[in-house]
A = this chain, B = another copy of it.
Amino acid sequence: MALGLRSPPPRAAVEHLVRQAVYHRLGMPLPRLAQAPNPLVVNVSARHCHLTPQAVEALFGNAHQLQVHKWLYQEGQFAAKESVTLIGPRSRVISNLRILGPCRNLNQVELAYTDSIALGFEIPLRLSGNIQGTPGCMLMGPNGFFEMQEGVIRALRHVHMSPADAEFYGVTKGDDMRLRIGGPCALTLDKMLVRVDKSFKLEVHIDTDEGNACNLQPETPCELLK
């Protein structure tokens, strides 16, 4: 795996540490949310795909390995340098569809509804990985085409968390939480699926429709609620 740019820590992570330090220095008790074991990071996932090694070879050539463009917040996950062209059911295309690595054992394209409407798709809302019976599409890379028989979805908005986070918030895997997002276009996402794994860092993933609806910026206040 090639070296990629290590991103600076997200603003929410820095703020969380500063808040804890300030309360400590002032000798004041920490407010409830500042006691959270981890900072709340909210990231917008633009449209992207996950591919199998076979699909990567068909698109980019024999034995091709994805190159790291940028490391993502979840450990070991990265945006690849490689992107593909997606060809939808009406021959409309989206260029530069980013591949996220590392490779998986299934092919999946995650779009926002605005993307799918532009392409002429009707796509279902699914938990990532649950792609049976979903529409397919054609992908095009520098080495050729790869046809996906299924796998085009809108991913259910979700929050990754460790068991310690789940305990703090009083939730378990599969629960729904709410995410309150502030600012001039404030909104509350009412169904935020909880995914728990000890490898997960606390992070909410929303798509570009959700991110643009509330104009999510690095400084926008966010609160995760049971």
Q: Which of B113, B186, B191, B215 contacts A113 (CB 8 A)?
A: B215
Q: Is A57 interfacial (CB 8 A cutoff)?
A: no
Cβ < 8 Å to B, chain A residues 119-173? 125, 157
Q: For the complex, give the distance between the alpha carbons of A157 and B186 in Å.
A: 11
* 5 closest cross-chain pairs (CB), A and B: A113-B212, A186-B190, A213-B213, A209-B212, A209-B213
Report which residue of A125, A180, A188, A207 has the largest number of chain B beta carbons within 10 angstroms of its beta carbon.
A188
| 0/1 string, A197-208, CB within 8 A of B gives 1 | 000000000011
Extra inter-chain contacts (18) besides given A180-B190, A186-B191, A188-B190, CB under 8 Å = A112-B114, A112-B212, A113-B212, A114-B208, A114-B212, A117-B212, A125-B185, A185-B191, A186-B190, A187-B187, A187-B188, A187-B189, A187-B190, A187-B210, A187-B213, A209-B212, A209-B213, A210-B213
Using a CB–CB cutoff of 8 Å, the interface residues on chain A facing chain B are: 112-114, 117, 125, 157, 180, 184-191, 207-210, 212-213, 215
A125-B184, A190-B188 known; A114-B114 Cβ under 8 A: yes
- Distance between Cα atoms of A12 and B175 in the complex (Å): 31
Q: Chain B contacts of A187 at CB under 8 A?
A: 187-191, 210, 213
Considering residues A189, A210, A213, A215, which has the most beta carbons from chain B within 10 angstroms of its beta carbon?
A213
Residues in B with CB closer than 8 Å to A180 are: 190
Which residue of chain B has its CB nearest to the CB of A181? B190
Closest residue of chain B to A214 (Cβ to Cβ) is B213
Q: How far is the CA of A62 from the CA of B180 in the complex (A)?
A: 51
Nearest to A157 among chain B residues (CB) is B185
Return A20 CB to nearest CB of chain B, in Å: 28
Q: Using Cβ atoms and an 8 Å threshold, which residues of chain B touch A207?
A: 213
How far is A195 from B89 in the complex, measured between Cα atoms in Å?
A: 41
Complex formed: what's the CA distance from A142 to B99 in Å?
Answer: 40
